[in-house]
């Protein structure tokens, strides 16, 4: 067994080096492990805590100091079994999501009730075109240029959304999807109807057309 073999078992490089180092000794202090793996003390403690959660490392306290040791290598099998259980759970979640994901694929036409014709007619399905910036709309809705032009950030006191800077990107998750409106155009009267609530998705397929 070497570090590369442990990495192939889905351990990180640091985890593999720390675990392999402890396999060669009876027990060791975090400072000694840090020296042998050439990692900082902070990174070493983070790696040790991660391996403890996986059940691959344990420790004993001697004279008020923690001595870390590798558990029986058979624990690797227990950890792999745990990973299999997690994969099975993720598989079940995906299987439940498949019906919803299939809804994102729509046909070109469908039979639908038309309130103007007052009967079911054939409707052509399409998506609402998103307004893009142009000479008529050169500024984004809440862009810094528009905000500055309209004087929203001037003055003092409670300015609502402009009282403080936006939350930093590392504090919030970036949305990978957007709201897409679906329209239905009646083939008889030519009237267009739109669903009341837009669908949030990364993309919607309408026949061969893909709306993103």
Per-residue pLDDT tens listing for the chain (212 residues): 578 888 877 788 888 888 888 888 888 888 888 888 888 888 888 988 888 888 888 889 888 888 998 888 888 888 888 888 888 888 888 887 776 666 667 788 889 899 899 999 999 988 887 666 555 666 666 777 777 777 776 766 666 666 655 555 555 566 667 788 889 999 999 999 888 888 777 777 776 666 65
3-state secondary structure of 209: strand
CATH of domain 103-131+175-212: 3.10.450.80
Q: Where are the domains of the chain?
A: 3-75, 103-131+175-212
CB atoms within 10 A of CB 165: 6
What's the CATH number of domain 3-75, 2.30.36.70, 1.10.150.120, 1.10.10.10, 3.50.50.60?
1.10.10.10
pLDDT of residue 161: 66
pLDDT of residue 41: 86
pLDDT of residue 156: 65
Residue (of 26, 70, 63, 65) closest to 48 by Cα position: 70
């Amino acid at each position: 067994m070497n570090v590369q073999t442990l990495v192939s078992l889905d351990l990180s490089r640091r985890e593999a080096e720390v675990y392999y180092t402890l396999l060669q000794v009876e027990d060791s202090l975090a400072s000694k492990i840090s020296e042998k793996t050439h990692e900082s003390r902070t990174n070493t403690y983070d790696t040790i805590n991660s391996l403890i959660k996986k059940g691959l490392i344990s420790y004993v306290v001697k004279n008020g100091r923690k001595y870390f040791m590798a558990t029986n290598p058979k624990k690797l099998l227990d950890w792999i079994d745990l990973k299999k259980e997690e994969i099975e759970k993720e598989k079940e979640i995906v299987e439940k999501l498949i019906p919803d994901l299939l809804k994102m694929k729509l046909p070109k036409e469908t039979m639908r009730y038309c309130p103007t014709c007052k009967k079911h007619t054939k409707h052509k399905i399409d998506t609402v075109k998103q307004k893009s910036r142009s000479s008529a709309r050169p500024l984004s809705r809440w862009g810094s240029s528009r905000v500055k032009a309209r004087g929203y950030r001037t003055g003092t006191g409670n300015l609502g959304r402009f009282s403080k800077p936006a939350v930093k990107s590392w504090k919030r998750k970036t949305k990978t999807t957007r709201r897409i409106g679906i329209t239905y155009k009646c083939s008889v009267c030519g009237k267009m109807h739109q669903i009341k609530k837009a669908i949030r998705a990364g993309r919607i397929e309408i026949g061969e057309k893909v709306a993103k």
